[in-house]
Each structure stands twice: as C-alpha cells, then as structure tokens.
C-alpha cells in the first residue's frame, strides 16, 4: 500500500510539472517568435527579459511542487552575498538530472536565471528542448578525439559556439552554468577515465575557459557548487516520489581575475595554468564531498 501511495505521489508530481511546462511554453514560444521577426536591439532585449521572467515563474511553480510533494530536508550553506541582478559563472559537480532541479531550487531569486550548456540532441526533447532554444541555452555538439583526428577543421567548433552564445548573455544579467565534467558521474565512467578523484570525473576545461574569455569582464564572481546526496544518487522518479530525504549543497564564492581569461586554444601556458586551477578546485570539491558523505554515515 505504501509503495502504491508513493507511486501516486510521483505521478501527481510529474503531472504538475507537465501542466506547468505546457502553460509556460506557450508564452515562451510566442515571445520567441516576436523576437525572431523583429530584429531590433531594444525589442530583442525586451523579449529576452520577458522570456527570463516567464522561465522564472516556471521554476517557482516547480519549486512549490517539490515542497508540497517531496518533503526534502535541504542543507544549504554559502548563499550570502549573492545578487539577483549580477552576472555569475556557476560550476558544479554532476551526478543526476536531479542536479538541475536542485540548482534551480537553491538559486531561485538569489542569482539571475541559470543558462545551461546542453547537448545538441536535447533540442529534440519535446517542448523543453525548444523552450531551452528560445531561452538562448547554448546547444553543444561534442566530438570524440578519434572523430576530430579525422576532421581537424572541427577542432574548437564547440568553443566557438560557446563564444557566440555568451555574446547573447551580455545584454541582461545571467548566470551561466557549466558542468565541467561534461557528463553525469557513474562508477563505470569513473573507472574508464581513471579519475584521480573519489567522487568526481575528470574536468573538461575548454568550455569554461572560453566562456570566461568571452564574458569574464561581466562576471562578478564564480559560484562553485558542490551537491551531495547522503542516501546515494537518486533518479528523477525517486525524486518526485519523495524517496530523496536529504540534499546537501555547499556554495563557495570565488573571485574573477584576469589570469582566468586568455586564449585557451593558442596559448599553451594559459591552457596549462587554467587546467591546473580547475583541477585544484576539483580536488577541494572531492574533499568537501568526503566530509559531507562521512557526516551522514556517523
């Protein structure tokens, strides 16, 4: 009986997500159409602000849905000093699709609307993919090293997409989100990569470096986020069913300096230094996860 009630809770929660998504996508598509038909800068800027406002309402309803159906204990530290009218680069570890809902919940109203880097294939995800496109989420085409060896003219193409996307972010306050591991953590991937970390995959610094080069003068700070699931990483279904009892988030605010901005493709020394800085950051994050998860076991 309990499992049936839990499943019904999850189904009802998903229904609310779906209704909210459809209700918000309709005006998002309408405003995006106006933006496409009227290529005048003030109109474009107004449309982007309006789109962000609609998307923020969508997140607010999603957050209310979580509070009503999930009963999660949130342990969040480090939100002080953030500005909803600023520009931020946000980096975080990535373990589950639930991470996105966690970030939207934690930062709603604290920093500007989060814009994620997405795989190009996600454009075809019904409604959401097209809404992300309308909201100027950058879609990335990732190439394997083997593919790039056969097609060297495509080297740096994904970074060029990053640069163009960031140009759109300069007109209104925004938080650019980057999962620098490039994919969700699994033990299989961890083993295959021979990752030097216990809880994390190896970092992919290129996208972050290019975003910093394109917008570093606008970013006020870097928001480093560590997400921990004390009970273990859960699926979206577990999340909506209320099986996730606690989520711990630690936020570390880092300064932006000129040393973080350079030519990642052409300057070998800058590339090496940037990778070293990011790897040190990931070592600290790995230690933070150690502490968060050990506390749960005591």
Q: Which domains does the chain have, with CATH numbers?
A: 72-297 (3.40.1130)
**Are the C-beta atoms of residues 92 and 118 closer than 8 Å to each other?**
no
- The residue among 2 and 103 whose pLDDT is bigger is 103
CB 164 within 8 A of CB 156: no
Q: 296 pLDDT exceeds 90? A: no
Please tell me the predicted confidence (pLDDT) of residue 156. 61
User: Three-state SS across 66-123?
Assistant: HHHHCCCEEEEECCCCCCCCCCEEEEECCCCCHHHHHHHHHHECCECCEEECEEHHHH
Contact indicator for 235, 96 with CB cutoff of 8 Å: yes
Lowest mean pLDDT among 130-139, 153-162, 256-265: 153-162
Is 298's pLDDT higher than 50?
no
d(CA 169, CA 164): 9
pLDDT at res. 123? 86
Q: Is the pLDDT of residue 86 over 50?
A: yes
pLDDT at 182 over 90: no
Cα 273 to Cα 93, 201, 211, 261, 283: the distances in Å are: 21, 19, 16, 11, 15
Instruction: Give the residue-averaged pLDDT of 219-241.
Output: 92
Does residue 148 surpass a pLDDT of 70?
no
Q: What integer best gives the mean pLDDT of the chain? A: 88
Is the model's pLDDT at 15 over the cut of 90? yes
Q: Which residue, among 247, 292, 233, has the nearest Cα to 71 in the 3D structure? A: 247
Tell me if 253 sits within 8 A of 175, measured CB to CB.
Answer: no
Range from 15-19, 156-160, 180-184, 259-263 carrying the lowest mean pLDDT: 156-160
Output 47-53 pairs: Cβ under 8 A, ≥24 positions apart: 48/136, 48/168, 48/171, 48/172, 49/172, 51/134, 51/135, 52/112, 52/113, 52/135, 52/172
In this structure, what token pair is assigned to residue 65?
């849905």
pLDDT at 154 over 50: yes
pLDDT of 16 > 60? The answer is yes
| Top-confidence residue, 161 or 73 | 73
Has residue 149 got a pLDDT over 70? no
Is 63 exposed, middle or buried, given 0-12, 13-18 or 19+ CB atoms closer than 10 A?
middle
pLDDT tens per residue across span 91-109: 999 999 899 999 999 999 9
Enumerate the β-bridge partners of residue 89.
176, 222
Out of 162-176, 199-213, 219-233, 249-263, pick the least confident.
162-176
pLDDT tens, residue by residue, 232-247? 888 899 999 888 989 9
Q: Is the pLDDT of residue 282 over 60?
A: yes
Segment of 3-12, 131-140, 245-254 carrying the highest mean pLDDT: 245-254
* Position 291 confidence tier, pLDDT thresholds 50, 70, 90: very high
- Determine contact, residues 226/249, Cβ cutoff 8 Å: yes
Burial 118-141 (b: 16+ CB within 10 A, else e): beeeeeeeeeebbbbbbbbbbbbe
Percent of the chain clearing pLDDT 90 (strictly above)? 57
Q: Are 93 and 195 in contact (CB under 8 A)?
A: no
Phi, psi of 46 (to 5 degrees): -60, -45
pTM above 0.85, yes or no: yes
Return d(Cα 80, Cα 225) in angstroms, integer: 13
Region 59-81 average pLDDT: 91
Lowest mean pLDDT among 72-76, 217-221, 283-287: 217-221
* Confidence category of residue 222, pLDDT binned at 50, 70, 90: very high
Tokens 């849905």 label which residue? 65
pLDDT at 147: 60
């Amino acid at each position: 009986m309990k499992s049936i009630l839990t499943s019904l809770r999850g189904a009802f929660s998903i229904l609310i997500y779906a209704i909210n998504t459809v209700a918000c996508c309709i005006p998002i598509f309408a405003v995006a159409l106006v933006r496409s038909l009227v290529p005048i800068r003030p109109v474009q800027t107004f449309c982007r602000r309006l789109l962000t406002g609609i998307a923020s309402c969508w997140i607010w309803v999603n957050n209310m849905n979580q509070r009503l159906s999930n009963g999660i204990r949130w342990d969040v530290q480090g939100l002080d000093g953030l500005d909803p009218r600023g520009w931020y680069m946000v980096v975080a570890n990535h373990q589950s699709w639930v991470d996105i809902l966690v970030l939207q919940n934690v930062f709603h109203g604290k920093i500007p609307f989060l814009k994620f880097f997405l795989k190009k294939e996600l454009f075809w995800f019904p409604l959401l993919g097209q809404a992300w496109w309308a909201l100027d989420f950058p879609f990335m085409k990732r190439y394997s090293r083997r593919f790039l060896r056969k097609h060297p003219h495509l080297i740096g193409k994904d970074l060029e997409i990053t640069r163009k996307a960031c140009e759109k972010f300069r007109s209104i306050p925004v938080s650019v989100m980057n999962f620098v591991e490039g994919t969700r953590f699994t033990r299989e991937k961890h083993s295959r990569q021979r990752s030097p970390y216990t809880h994390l995959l190896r970092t992919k610094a290129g996208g972050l470096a290019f975003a910093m080069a394109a917008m570093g003068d606008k970013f006020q700070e870097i928001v480093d986020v560590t997400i921990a699931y004390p009970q273990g990483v859960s699926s979206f279904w577990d999340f909506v069913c209320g099986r996730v009892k606690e989520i711990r988030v630690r936020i570390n605010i880092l300064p932006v300096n000129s040393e973080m901005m350079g030519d990642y493709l052409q300057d070998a020394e800058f590339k090496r230094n940037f990778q070293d800085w990011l790897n040190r950051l990931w070592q600290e994050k790995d230690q933070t996860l150690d502490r968060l998860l050990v506390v749960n076991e005591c």
